Amino acid sequence: MTAVDDRATAASSADGGPRMEVGNARRRKEDAHLLTGRTTWTDNMTLPGMLHLAILRSPMAHAKITRIDASEAKSRPGVIAVFTGQDFAETQGDIPCAWPVTADMVNPGHPSLAVTQVNHVGEAVAVIVARDKAAAQDALEAVDIDYEQLPAVLDMEAALAEGADLVHPNTTSNKSYTWVFESGAAGTGQPIDDVLNAAEVTLKRRFIQQRLIPAFMEPRSTVVQPVGEGFTMWSSTQVPHILRTMLALTVGVPEHKVRVIAPDVGGGFGGKLQVTPEEVICALVARKLGKSVKYTESRSESVMSAHHGRDQIQDITITARRDGTVTGLDVHLLANMGAYLRLVSPGIPVLGAFMFNSIYKFDAYRFTCDGVFTTKTPTDAYRGAGRPEATFAIERIMDELAAELDMDPMELRRKNWIRHEEFPFTTVSGMTYDSGNYEAATDKALSLLGWDELIAEQARRRASKDPVQLGLGISTFTEMCGLAPSRVLGALSYVAGGWENAAIRVLATGKVEVITGVSGHGQGHETAWSQIVADQLGVPFEDIEVIHGDTQSAPKGMDTYGSRSLVVGGIAVVKAAEKVVEKARAIAAHMLEANPDDLDFAGGNFSVKGSPGNSKSIQDVAFATFTAHDLPDGIEPSIDSDATFDPANFSFPHGTHLCAIEVDTETGRATIRKYVCVDDIGEVINPLIVEGQVHGGLAQGIAQALYEEAVYDAEGNLTTGSFVDYLVPSAADLPSFITDRTVSASTTNPLGVKGVGEAGTIASTPAVVNAVVNALRPYGVNDIQMPCTPERIWRALSEGAEKSSPAAAGTVAHGGASTSSSDGSDAAEGGRL
């Protein structure tokens, strides 16, 4: 639990020194305006003469467009224009893919408005422009389109088979790429085949990462205003800077004529890390008509058109010695790209390549990923992006290996993880983990859970054949945060760097503006950055304003995703603050008639060493630069600064998550009884923000384990097209979380921070599923496909009872393939209202 610190101004600590802001659980500056709605959401924007768009979307998963007749729609009241893909065929370009993971990756192209063919339900086909939103939506039904239906391509294995129907006519197969890492070739370990061949114990499992919908709270919204030769775009995006560059290249407007503003943005979870067809369409229409336009999607449009996440088939082979020492890990992924490659689609599964080996010491490792096209919504970043998939697979198979070897699953982990004294440690995938203490986090978590008591209760319930069984699940995870060292991104063929920028302006009155290149959309950057700068410059928290999310006022940045904001952007702020202090030091020295080297800087004051009474505050110095009446020769009248920081390494948060779950064997319902997580995210700027990130992350990870799944029917329609069928859990469905931390400071940045935005999501999913399987192992169950719905658990119990004994070693879990994600839809009907 975290106590809230609401003190108004920086006070003095008990020892008389300045009390630090970093570490205080301040309530967030931004909450009052966000929670009351007295703020700028994109959809609140109104510009003079603004027109409204409605987008007609494909009802077909896969079809040729043979005819479009928009004449009646054009004649509807209030309608200004109707455009189809043909109207923009020459100007719309393709939605950019910034991550060609291999030299021979196939990218069939991605028009914003379909021109000749649609490849997923929900794809934009036509756009209505009208004087008001209702008129635009009314005219949608008047657009007459003839489709020639093509076979839906839904199953990844079938899509890769010989003679499969092709999603794209301009390709020769549905495979986009194959990306391989092998430790022998990379020089990071032994050749994998040698280790596999020599294995004493080999275990293979297939895990299904179901398709998920990011379900950000604020639907996507875009406003475009033509300005001179270019335009200004307001958009509900995580990435205004990337969007600006990519829009310039896509639409063909010089970058300096494009301004992108991300006003207050209501969540993203990776779902707004994108250059969307809708954004491009808004820009095209606004420029064509010379009018401002607005488009805001409905939730129904959002769930079928905004990119989805996960959707992998994971075939995992682990080898070990009989004593439980793991030796080799062989990972083969089929990663569903959906119909198109979007901004970083191909790179998402590849990010997981470095995390499957996790905290364990393997001799050899291979990772192979095939990116596959299907006629489903494109996939891309979703909270964790590659790392939840990896963590799930390794943590699940460690439990299966423990069962196979008849070992305690925690003992198996302890035997194989990197010991505290072994850091820094270079793993078999080539990552160098700088710090960590898995023993400390695990011991704390076990104690908080009351592991031994629950194990005893589990034994009692098993002995008494209690209809409610208890399961205990473990996830000892790590992740890589702080995307990313630019050199690493270059080696992975990403088209941009991973640096971040910050600037600081000290105003005449001593107030401070911090300009940051990250683009918060709910994270609390305004508060955390203020806390950092308050300490760095010794100015009051309240005197700091954080400016972000506008390419004009915060012109340089790489935006917010991948738990990078603090670890990269926050460090850029520190670097900028250090520059301010150094510039101010020279002027303060002049004012104090001392040598700059003889000045101390503490609590916002420069003082001459040995005579603390003789001092000038940083505000005094700022005012001196404002008047500039008496500055040393050759010194510019400014202490403002600008810094760009490129991290030398990732950071590696880790932790131990434990879940106790009750499984009602009569109904199949799994109910979390107790959830404990001890996260090691390094030093903490604001414990309250961290607590919020952990809680929200846990909710989303648990949601994957128990609740959420995007399901398509046999024709490729999204059956879970609303929140009636796509079940996002609420607080009412989740337990009270027990959270704690250990601190192994990151050694790769001056704040010692590691990032926390994705930890809960990455760690929690396998903890929950391991708990469910642990509860049911005596019933012959060794896997339940996610989400572990009551029906799936009930069916697994029924099948397990028939088998009466656990699946034999070395076999594929029976839960895996038998209930593929489209199976339950034999009579599926969506849309209960």
Residues engaged in binding other proteins (CB under 8 A): 133-134, 137-138, 141, 298-300, 666-669, 707, 711, 719-720, 724-725, 727-730, 732-733, 789-791, 794-795, 824-833
Minimal distance, residue 714 CB to other proteins, in Å: 14
Are 276 and 565 in contact by the 8 Å Cβ rule? The answer is no
Minimal distance, residue 775 CB to other proteins, in Å: 18
Q: How far is CA 121 from CA 63, 268, 305, 338, in A?
A: 10, 22, 8, 11
Minimal distance, residue 152 CB to other proteins, in Å: 18
Minimum CB distance to other proteins smaller for 399 or for 662: 662
Q: Amino acid identity of 537? A: L
Minimum CB distance to other proteins smaller for 373 or for 712: 712
- DSSP-derived 3-state class of residue 537: helix
d(CA 275, CA 95): 7
Q: What is the CA radius of gyration of the chain?
A: 28
Strand order in the sheet with 654-664: 468-478, 654-664, 670-680, 738-741
d(CA 372, CA 155): 10
d(CA 191, CA 184): 4
Tokens representing 832 are 């209960």
Minimal distance, residue 137 CB to other proteins, in Å: 5
Tokens representing 620 are 């005094």
Minimal distance, residue 671 CB to other proteins, in Å: 11
Minimum CB distance to other proteins smaller for 139 or for 344: 139
Minimal distance, residue 769 CB to other proteins, in Å: 16
Minimum CB distance to other proteins smaller for 267 or for 824: 824
Minimal distance, residue 179 CB to other proteins, in Å: 34
Tokens 């196939």 belong to residue: 106
Minimum CB distance to other proteins smaller for 4 or for 134: 134
Minimal distance, residue 668 CB to other proteins, in Å: 8
d(CA 459, CA 154): 44
Minimal distance, residue 53 CB to other proteins, in Å: 13
Minimum CB distance to other proteins smaller for 2 or for 300: 300
Minimum CB distance to other proteins smaller for 178 or for 667: 667
Tokens representing 53 are 């768009």
Residue 146 exposed, middle or buried by CB count within 10 Å (0-12, 13-18, 19+): exposed
**Residue among 333, 326, 328, 301 nearest 317 (CA):** 328
Minimal distance, residue 372 CB to other proteins, in Å: 24
117-118 and 63-69 as β-strands: parallel, antiparallel, unpaired? antiparallel
Minimum CB distance to other proteins smaller for 11 or for 827: 827
Length of the chain: 833
Cβ-based neighbours of 354, under 8 Å, separated by 6 or more:
427, 429, 430, 431, 480
**Residue among 723, 722, 703, 720 nearest 712 (CA):** 720
First vs last C-alpha separation in the chain: 39
Minimum CB distance to other proteins smaller for 140 or for 180: 140
Minimum CB distance to other proteins smaller for 596 or for 824: 824
d(CA 415, CA 312): 29
